[in-house]
Amino acid sequence: MATTDEWRRQHQRYKEDVKRRGKPFYPYAMFHDTVMSLVVVSVIIGLAAVWYYTSGEDPKTCGSGDSCLLGPRYSEPADPATTNFVPRPDWYFYFLFYLLRIFKWPDSVILGTVGIPTVMLIIAFALPFLDRRMERRLTRRPVAIVAAILVVISMGELTYKGAIAKEALASEVVQAVPSWAQRQGFANNAEAVAGAKIFASSGCTACHTYLGTGSSNQGAPDLSAEATRGKSKQQLMAYIRDPSQFGNNIMPKFGFSDQQLSQLAAFLLASKGPK
Ligand code: HEC
């Protein structure tokens, strides 16, 4: 621990240093900052110009007519009615994004999304008050260095995992239908297979898991063994037609036809859990 005396001496030395070798803020630091700001703004303007002049109005001409070096000018128009859009964060949020996969809804998700990042921020803020030694050499600060390396490694690992983590696209979920049919033993039940396809392509797996496919969100149950819950076909159809009638205000009304509802119910009634 440094003593008060030592701090005084250090402060004294600092003042003398400033007098001997220091430069006034104006104009030196002002000049530095101005030049650097101009450089940064020019780079941004330059990139914007490159993006604009290498891209055309039509994204389809990318690669043939326009090089689209920094991306196309416009991409596909947004579709507000989509149910199978797969949201992905920007790359610098991949580590947080991956934390969400590690922590499962609903028990520990608050810990993963709010708890851990907040604790890390508080530690970062508190650090100058905790570590008040004057030591700056890296070799004399093993705890701080090891902690910093561990943080960088774990964030790198999480970022990498977040980058390669695959969200099941609706088209990929549909490919799982034959294996579901086989494992549940409903391959010969055409109505159930049709229902499975609707289930796989309608976005149900955004909330429900089924034989390990999909992600469980907002407290939606696994539906692999829905048939064992004792609901009749009529009950299941009524439930899916309008979940809000059964106190479920999370699951959307999908607007299925009676035939589709019947197929979905047949699929769920053929889901007795894998053998
Ligand atoms: C936005 C999330 C979400 C989507 C999408 C969703 N569900 Fe649900 N679903 C839920 C939640 C949450 C519950 C549980 C509600 C409860 O327990 O009160 C539920 C419950 C159910 C149940 C009743 C389970 C039981 O307790 O017996 C069935 C059946 C069901 N969903 C089928 C479907 C089908 C079929 C689809 C696709 C057409 C679908 N869900 C899409 C959130 C969703």
> What pLDDT sits at residue 66?
84
Q: DSSP per residue over the chain, as a string?
A: ---HHHHHHHHHHHHHHHHHH---IIIIIHHHHHHHHHHHHHHHHHHHHHHHHH--S-GGGBTTTB--TT--S--SPP-TT-S-------GGGHHHHHHHHHSPTTTTHHIIIIIHHHHHHHHHHHHHHH-------GGG-HHHHHHHHHHHHHHHHHHHHHHHPPPPPHHHHHTTHHHHHHHHT-TT-HHHHHHHHHHHHTTGGGT--BTTBS---TTPPP-TTGGGG---HHHHHHHHH-GGGGT--SSPP----HHHHHHHHHHHHT-----
In this prediction, residue 85 has a pLDDT band, given cuts at 50, 70 and 90, of low
CA of 110 to the centre of ligand 1 (A): 22
Domain 170-269 adopts which CATH fold? Cytochrome Bc1 Complex; Chain D, domain 2 (1.10.760)
> What pLDDT sits at residue 127?
87
> What pLDDT sits at residue 99?
83
In this prediction, residue 213 has a pLDDT band, given cuts at 50, 70 and 90, of confident
Q: Which of 8-17, 100-109, 130-139, 182-191 has the lowest mean pLDDT?
A: 100-109
> What pLDDT sits at residue 275?
66
> What pLDDT sits at residue 235?
96
Query: Is 88-166 a CATH 1.10.287 domain?
Result: yes
CA of 81 to the centre of ligand 1 (A): 19
What average pLDDT does this structure show over 182-195?
A: 94
Question: Which residues sit with their C-beta closer than 6 Å to ligand 1?
Answer: 199, 202-204, 206-208, 218-221, 226, 229, 231, 236, 239-240, 247-248, 250-252, 254, 264, 268
> What pLDDT sits at residue 49?
95
In this prediction, residue 226 has a pLDDT band, given cuts at 50, 70 and 90, of very high
> What pLDDT sits at residue 72?
87
CA of 249 to the centre of ligand 1 (A): 10
> What pLDDT sits at residue 24?
85
CA of 237 to the centre of ligand 1 (A): 12
Per-residue pLDDT of 29-80, as tens digits, reads: 999 999 999 999 999 999 999 999 998 888 888 878 788 888 888 887 777 7
Mutation test of ligand 1: which of 174, 208, 249, 264 has the most ligand atoms closer than 8 Å to its C-beta? 208
Q: Which of 20-29, 127-136, 259-268 has the lowest mean pLDDT?
A: 127-136
Q: What percent of the chain has pLDDT over 70?
A: 94
Mutation test of ligand 1: which of 205, 248, 264 has the most ligand atoms closer than 8 Å to its C-beta? 248
> What pLDDT sits at residue 108?
80
> What pLDDT sits at residue 225?
94
Task: Rounding to the nearest 10 degrees, give the CA dihedral for residues 252, 256, 258, 262.
Answer: -70
> What pLDDT sits at residue 153?
96
Tokens 């859009």 sit at which residue? 85
What's the mean pLDDT when you consider all of the chain? 88
Q: What percent of the chain has pLDDT over 90?
A: 49
Distances (CA, A) of 264 to 11, 39, 231, 237, 251: 76, 60, 13, 8, 15
CA of 147 to the centre of ligand 1 (A): 43
> What pLDDT sits at residue 12?
93
Closest residue by Cα to atom 28, ligand 1, is 240
Report whether pLDDT(9) > 80.
yes
